[in-house]
Copies of this chain bind each other. A is one copy, B any other.
Amino acid sequence: MDWGKVKFFLGEVGRNFTRNAGMQATAIGTVAVTVVLLGLFLFVRLTLAGVGDRLLKQIEISVYFHTNATPAQENHLRDVLRADQRVTSFTFVPKAEGLKQLRRQTQGSIDVSMLTQNPLPDKFRVRVGDPSEVSAVADSLRGEPGVANVVYGKTIVGRLLQLGVVLRRVSIALIVALLCVAAIIISNTIRLTVYARRREIAIMQLVGATATYVRMPFVCEGVLHGLLGSLVALLILGIGKAALWSKLALALPWLELNGTHVALLPIALQLLLVGVAIGALSSWFSIGRYLRT
């Protein structure tokens, strides 16, 4: 490889860039806002998934014993729960404690003084790591000795799981759609920058440049558009997050947004990759139209 040629080639790309600065800035701006959209969407999606996961993890299974269950049966269940990999935590709630809680829940509207005896049984509260296994765990506990009933927010868990599935599908569809949109917008933009220079392309070919020779600087330019545009986008996203995230977390404390960890580096890398790939491909193909072979 002749170093002079590499220098010439890079110079070529650099000159294109500086001598059409306005046009290049326009293209980069378009790439940037498009990638911002993409990034925003990816980020919202991951955050929502994180929040949803945490909500689902808070779901509890209540395991009620028969009123006449023995302490041995209760200890047996404790062992079962301890042995179950799917169970992340559990607490024992004796019947006295249960009545207090019921009273608190109904906020005094039940006249507990009228009860001659505590009608509630002992119970376990169980948390499960993977929300989709809640129902399986509940079913397995139902058969244990001394257990009268196993209760959990069946509809809620079902709906949340369903919502999760649908959201996942919808968001994959949306990502694909957004990627297409980004590809269309960016490649249209790059196509227009190529169109604006169709005369130069024709001349280069008339002077004896091969199609590849003409194409390479344009493709590099497309890569640069993608790269710089994505970098600008990442900057915007970073600033945006720094400025707004804490406010949002403060406005909706119960979502515990700060606890939702979204890995930013992979998103950033994905966005860079997407920007560069679309830039390169669309230059490659748009210039094809103006190359007479």
Contacts of A90 in B (CB 8 A): none
* Interface of chain A residues 171 through 198 with chain B (CB within 8 A): 178, 180-181, 184-185, 188-189, 191-193, 195-196
Report the separation of the CA atoms of residues A232 and B34 in the bound assembly, to the nearest whole angstrom.
Answer: 20
A267 adjacent to chain B (CB < 8 Å): no
Tell me whether A252 is interfacial, beta carbon within 8 Å.
yes
Contacts of A205 in B (CB 8 A): none
Bound complex: CA of A206 vs CA of B82, how far in Å? 88
Q: Is A235 an interface residue (CB 8 A)?
A: no
Residue in B26, B33, B109, B116 whose beta carbon sits within 8 Å of that of A151 in the complex: B109
Main secondary structure of the interface of A (DSSP, over half): helix
Binary B-proximity of A16-29 (CB < 8 A = 1, otherwise 0): 00000011001101
Taken together, the copies of this chain in the complex come to 2
Closest to A68 in B: B111
Between A and B, 8 residue pairs with Cβ closer than 8 Å are A22-B289, A36-B181, A37-B37, A107-B149, A107-B151, A109-B148, A115-B115, A192-B192
> Chain A: residues with CB nearer than 8 A to chain B?
22-23, 26-27, 29-30, 33-34, 36-37, 62, 64, 67, 106-112, 114-117, 119-121, 123, 148-149, 151, 159, 162-163, 165-166, 170, 178, 180-181, 184-185, 188-189, 191-193, 195-196, 248, 251-252, 254, 289
